[in-house]
Amino acid sequence: APQALGLLNSELSVNVARQLAGLVLTSASAADEQIELLYQRTLSRRPTGEEIALVRQFLDQQRATLDSGASQEDALVLPLPE
């Protein structure tokens, strides 16, 4: 288990996640399109309606956290484009 945590928290994993986020953000402009692209790239399938709703809810929570003035480190979130 410590090895798995080390990999998840590694610089490599963070860089790959940032690259994936950049690809998604530059390839699709609408949130639903971004969610679908993310699912296709990571899971090789389309998201269900329920999954789309859950991801939207998560993104809304992250935006609210950032808008509240919490630092990115405190909130453990990455910045979202406007």
Closest CA to 58 of 74, 45, 82, 77: 77
Q: What is the pLDDT of residue 78?
A: 53
Residue 46: the pLDDT is 96
pLDDT string in tens for the chain (82-residue length):
677 767 777 788 888 888 998 999 999 989 999 999 999 999 999 999 999 999 999 988 888 887 887 665 555 555 544 4
**Report field, pTM of the whole predicted structure over 0.85:** no
The predicted structure's pLDDT at residue 77: 52
pLDDT of residue 62: 82
